[in-house]
């Protein structure tokens, strides 16, 4: 399961990184370990929202249920995320990122993760 991380690099610029949490095969499919989370928010955004450069308020896993966004990070790199995409926004300082809704309305679930939540040991996914 791919999770795209948006993080601040040492240069203060935000970047994308595609990761996959470790999982084990079971009779009900591949499952990861349980991860800590503190709060859940349900969000509906009307089509046309354009958030200029901003940073994440908290470390948040964003699960997009419907709609499509375009996110721009440092050096003009852009990606689109639609239904089923999972994004970990953790660029809480530095340049930040820009979000534009491309298809709406957008519905998503936002899951706040605590400081001890770590992606260390997750496999980096190329391409």
Residue 38, pLDDT score: 86
Domains in the chain: ranges and CATH: 3-124 (2.60.120.10)
Residue 78, pLDDT score: 98
Answer whether 16's CB lies under 8 Å from 6's CB. Answer: yes
| Average pLDDT, integer, range 82-99 | 97
pLDDT digits (tens, 9 = 90+) for 18-45: 999 999 999 999 999 999 898 999 999 9
Contacts of 20 (CB under 8 A, 6+ apart): 1, 2, 3, 122, 123, 125
Which sign, positive or negative, has the C-alpha torsion 96, 74, 103, 59? negative
Residue 103, pLDDT score: 92
Percentage of residues in the chain having pLDDT higher than 90: 93
């Amino acid at each position: 399961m791919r999770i795209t991380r948006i993080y601040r690099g040492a240069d203060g610029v935000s970047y994308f990184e595609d990761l996959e949490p470790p999982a084990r095969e079971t009779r009900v499919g591949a499952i990861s370990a349980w991860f800590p989370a503190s709060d859940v928010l349900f969000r509906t955004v009307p089509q046309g929202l354009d958030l200029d450069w901003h940073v994440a308020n908290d470390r948040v896993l964003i699960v997009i249920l419907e709609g499509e966004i375009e996110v721009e990070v440092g050096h003009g790199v852009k990606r689109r995320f639609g239904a089923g995409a999972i994004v970990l926004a953790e660029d809480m300082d530095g340049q930040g990122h820009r979000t534009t809704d491309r298809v709406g309305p957008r519905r998503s679930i936002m899951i706040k993760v605590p400081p001890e939540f770590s992606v260390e040991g997750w496999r980096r996914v190329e391409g």
